[in-house]
Amino acid sequence: MLQSLYQRLSLGKGTPATNGRGTFAPEHIEDSRLLRGLVQLLVTLGIVSVAVAAIGVTQTSLWNLLAIPLSAIGGWYSWRQRYRRNIAVKFFIAFGMLMALTAFLTRMIGQPGDTRIMLAELLIQLQVLHSFDLPRRKDLGYSMMIGLILLGVAATISQTLAFGPILLLFLTVAMPVLVLDYRSRLGLINPPWRQFGAQIAPRRLGALLLLVLGLGMVIFLMLPRLPGYQLRNFPVSTDIDYQGQFDGQAIINPGYVNGGSSGDGTDSESDGDGQGSGDIDEAGKLSGPGVVDQTSYYGFNRQMNQNLRGDLTPQEVMRVRSQSPGFWRVVSFDRYTGQGWEISRNENVMTLRRSRFTAQTILPRQRFIGRDREVIQTYTLVSDFSNLIPALYQPEQLYFPTQEVAIDPDGNLRSPVALEKGMTYTVVSEVPYRDRTRLRLAPKGYPDEIRDYYLQVPADLQAPVRELTESLLSNAPQPLEDPYEKALFLAQALKQRYTVQPNMPFLRPEEDLVNAFLFEQGGGLPDHFSTVLTIMLRSIDIPARLTAGFSPGEFNPFTGFYIVSNTDAYAITEVYFPEYGWFGFNPIPGFELVPPTIEDYEAFGIVRQFWNWVAGRLPSPVTAWIEGTVQTVFELLQRTVLALVGLFGKGWIGAIAGLAALTAMAFVGWLGWLGWRSGRQRWRLRQLPAMERLYQQMLLKLAHQGHPKKSTETPWEYVRRLLGKEKVNHQPAQEISDAYVRWRYGGEPPDINTLKTRLKQLTLTANRGRTP
């Protein structure tokens, strides 16, 4: 008999106390293979989520996927050895964890940047080691938390909805894991998969999933968005070691390498395949007809040849997470060439170098008196891009993977290397508020450095353009005196008087773009509108420049990113206001007159963004009906409040009438609440299985008698507490609770008719504490 007991103990079937090496208490050891398997699946989903979320966003090692089979092997080994101390295994695990920590610290010092993937990989390595020693229920709980943390890291990295299915699968697996863990804590034996699967019906599981997702979505939408980042460790790619001399003068555009800058700072001729930016004239400027590249916007160059024709093939360029939408500014031009633009002070580029121990570069910027706001943007490239660095105006701090960057007099940021797919960087900008009243009062005296570069107009174009501009301004309803209103009126006039002409013929070599637009063609291509507005403003002594960049793109409310495509690129006119800086105007038909600008923080702005996203996908009649209904409800509430306020303003009689009205409204609301709660309770009970409904009815009856069940109590803990109540007929309560636990966690069918009879016996007694 003793030998049989020893064999059982050695096999882990009894109380492990005689193997001579010391063991855990049996109630702490987890024997359920189902629970262990589901916990292992949670960890696997956590590892997979990190790998999926990192695709196209940041670099990660495919060796992380090897952790899935290694962790499974460790889980199998720890289950076999769950009744042993495994001192030697623990020693090797501890040594391996120290080695992993050392490798992590070495990598973090040698490759400063975004540490999220590094931390996730460290956690994966620790989980593999930890999986070889999981005897207790507590150890499985640690693995569950590791899976949850990995899922959280993946959520911070993910920029697409590809992460969504993994999140749903994780929730689906987590629910039965929580049930099994709860059963184990109650001391119940977990059933095999088939019996347990029969208890969790797909409909119930689906309903619970929808409930959790619905609550999560509501919390996500209603959670206040506070201003500023609480942590200042911004996402940035691993350092790029640039070899070579960087002077910042070269601009590299993947679609126009031969037509713009060749990458070494020198211009070279088009390759003649129709994809260049035209010919190079004797002055070294781009000119002549040509065809645009199908993927790269032609304006991101040192020169902008506007005698090109063709369309872009839509392609996602980057994803932007920003505290506020805006015009993602890329490059500004100051000199008009007759058929395009160029950067005239390209040699006056300032090179900035940061420390190798930090990714932060402090950028020089102009100081103005207007109110501004810090806006943090994180850009992730999903296609190869120019070495120009997009950013909101004005950038103050740049977190970039190269140690050197450059900035020119127009504030254009340049990188030593082209921005490749997968690169991530962060910009902190001090974006000025667009205060129309203040800008109208801005001084009209411009500094010499502004007048010298931003009032240039070809001599033969100055007089006719000025005459036409003044003629348009004279048609204003009232005289326009300040530059802001003039710029606004001219932008609107171009939208209304001229048309977009996609089939506009090429300009002749001696033909001027602005002259052809205003006096011959009656319009032009979209970017031509901004060129014309810039020249018109310059002709009446208002400094202006042409700036190319991206519109905010399409906002994804589920990921929080703006999806920016190459077709979102266009050019706008920027006007200089002394003491306030540069502000954009968009004369292109079909666009807002003023480019996207910052507004005061809205704590619940995500609700508005989500509704805009939903409304854009609904039929117009449905959108109009919803907006009309919401507006009607708010108008009714407003009228009610105004009526009550009016009553309180009519003396004592009005105050008494107002109080009476408030009391009546409160009473009606209270009655409605009681009726809704009672009806909801009856409806909910009808949806439950018979045993669950009977148990809930018992809880309601006892709660009405003054003995509610605490949310933290198990059914048996609740019954034990009732035993101390003298006026509670607790025997029916104990029988019903026992039947409920056996049905809920053991799968035993209850005798419903008998239990219904026992429920009727559950009454208060005045003198007896027990009923035989």
The pLDDT of residue 281: 45
How do beta strands 395-399 and 360-362 pair? antiparallel
How many CB atoms are located within 10 Å of the residue 585 CB?
A: 23
Using the 8-state DSSP alphabet, how is residue 548 labeled?
Answer: E
Tokens at 49, concatenated? 């989520």
CB distance 372 to 433 below 8 Å:
yes
The reported pLDDT for the residue numbered 3 is 36
Q: Which residues of 235-262 are buried (b: 16+ CB within 10 A; e: fewer)?
A: bbbbbeeeeeebebbbbbbbbbbbbbbe
Q: Which of 263-267, 532-536, 569-573, 716-720 has the lowest mean pLDDT?
A: 263-267
59 against 219, higher pLDDT: 219
User: Which residue matches tokens 């093939």?
Assistant: 313
The pLDDT assigned to 288 comes to 76
Sign of CA dihedral 179, 183, 184, 189: negative
Q: Which two tokens stand for residue 77?
A: 């080994």
In the prediction, which pLDDT does 202 show?
67
* Predicted confidence (pLDDT) at residue 771 exceeds the cutoff of 50: no
Of the listed ranges 198-212, 410-424, 477-491, the least confidently predicted one is 198-212
Q: In this model, does residue 269 exceed pLDDT 50?
A: no
Q: What is the rounded average pLDDT of the residues 546-563? A: 90
Most confident of the following: 15-29, 387-401, 634-648: 387-401
pLDDT at 14: 37
Q: Looking at beta carbons, which pairs linking 242-247 to residues 24 or more positions away fall under 8 Å?
A: 242/402, 242/403, 242/404, 242/416, 242/417, 244/416, 246/351, 246/404, 246/406, 246/416, 247/349, 247/351, 247/406
Q: What pLDDT score does 765 carry? A: 41
Tokens representing 245?
Answer: 């001399």
Return d(Cα 619, Cα 706) in angstroms, integer.
53
Confidence of residue 544 (pLDDT cuts 50, 70, 90): very high
**Confidence class of residue 567 from pLDDT cuts 50, 70 and 90?**
very high
User: Is the pLDDT confidence value at 263 over 60?
Assistant: no
For 359-365, what is the mean pLDDT?
Answer: 90
Q: What is the mean pLDDT of residues 233-253?
A: 86
Q: Is the pLDDT of residue 406 over 90?
A: yes
Asked if residue 350 lies in contact with residue 340, where contact means CB atoms within 8 angstroms, the answer is no
Band (pLDDT 50/70/90 cuts) for residue 12 is very low
pLDDT for 5 = 29
pLDDT confidence bin for 274, thresholds 50/70/90: very low
Residue 267 pLDDT class (50, 70, 90 cuts): very low
> What pLDDT, on a 0 to 100 scale, did the predictor assign at position 231?
54
**Residue 541, Ramachandran bin (φ over 0: left; ψ between -120 and 50: alpha; else beta):** left
pLDDT confidence bin for 471, thresholds 50/70/90: very high
pLDDT for residue 345: 92
Joined together, the tokens standing for residue 336 give: 């008009």
Q: Which contiguous run of DSSP H or E holds residue 431? A: strand 424-432
What dihedral angle (degrees, nearest 10) is formed by the CA atoms of 727, 729, 731, 734?
Answer: -80
Which residues are within 8 A (CB) of 726 and not within 5 positions of it... i.e. 6 or more apart?
A: 769
The fraction of the chain above a pLDDT of 70, given in percent, is 83
Lowest mean pLDDT among 149-153, 223-227, 370-374: 223-227
Q: 296: pLDDT confidence band, cut at 50, 70 and 90? A: very high
User: CB under 8 Å, gap of 24 or more: what pairs does 701-708 form?
Assistant: 701/759, 701/762, 702/728, 702/733, 702/762, 705/764
Average pLDDT along the chain: 82
User: Residue 459 carries which side chain, given as an amino acid letter?
Assistant: A
Residues whose CB is less than 8 angstroms from the CB of residue 25 and which lie 6 or more positions away in sequence, other chains included:
none
In angstroms, rounded to a whole number, what is the distance separating the alpha carbons of residues 385 and 550? Answer: 13
Q: Is residue 552 a contact partner of residue 561, using CB atoms and an 8 Å limit? A: no
Is pTM beyond 0.75? Reply is: no
Residue scoring higher pLDDT (364 or 112): 364
DSSP state of 65: G
pLDDT for res 9: 31
The number of residues in the chain equals 772
- What lies within 8 Å, CB to CB, of 426 at 6+ separation is 234, 235, 236, 376, 377, 378, 379, 398, 399
| Predicted local distance difference test score (pLDDT) of residue 196 | 65
- Spatial CA neighbour of 498 closest among 530, 452, 461: 530
Among 685, 681, 693, smallest CA distance to 740 is for 693
pLDDT at 8: 31
- At residue 264 the predicted structure's pLDDT band, cuts being 50, 70 and 90, is very low
Residue 560, phi-psi category: left (phi > 0), alpha (psi -120 to 50), beta (remainder): left
574 DSSP β-pair partners: 545, 584
Are residues 238 and 288 in contact, defined by beta-carbon separation less than 8 angstroms? no
Structure tokens at 569: 């690129």
Q: pLDDT at residue 556 above 90?
A: no
221-225, 525-529, 757-761: least confidently modelled range? 221-225
Give the whole-number percent of the chain exceeding pLDDT 90.
35
What band does 112 get if pLDDT is binned at 50, 70 and 90?
A: low
> pLDDT at position 114, please?
63
Half-sphere exposure in the Cβ direction for 366 (13 Å, CA): 19
* CA-based nearest residue to 438, from 374, 371, 538, 375: 371
Neighbours of 603 (CB within 10 A): 12
Mind giving me the DSSP string for 490-509?
Answer: HHHHHHHH-EE-TTPPPPPT
Q: What gap in Å lies between CA 72 and CA 639, rounded to an integer?
A: 65
CA atoms within 13 A on the CB side of 136: 12
CA distance 580 to 477: 27
Q: Which of 300-309, 414-423, 660-669 bottoms out in mean pLDDT, i.e. has the lowest?
A: 660-669
Give SS3 for 79: helix
DSSP state of 239: P
Helix H, strand E, coil C: the string for 567-610 is HHEEEEEEEEECCCEEEEECCCCCCCCCCCCCCCCCCCHHHHHH
Would you call 151 helix, strand, or coil by DSSP?
helix
**Spatial separation of the C-alpha atoms in residues 39 and 44, rounded to whole Å:** 9
Q: How far is Cα 761 from Cα 141, in angstroms, rounded to an integer?
A: 42
Q: Which residues pair with 280 in a beta bridge?
A: 286
Residue 86: pLDDT band (50, 70, 90) is confident
Q: In the chain, how many H helices and how many E strands?
A: 22, 23
Q: How many CB atoms lie within 10 A of CB 209?
A: 14
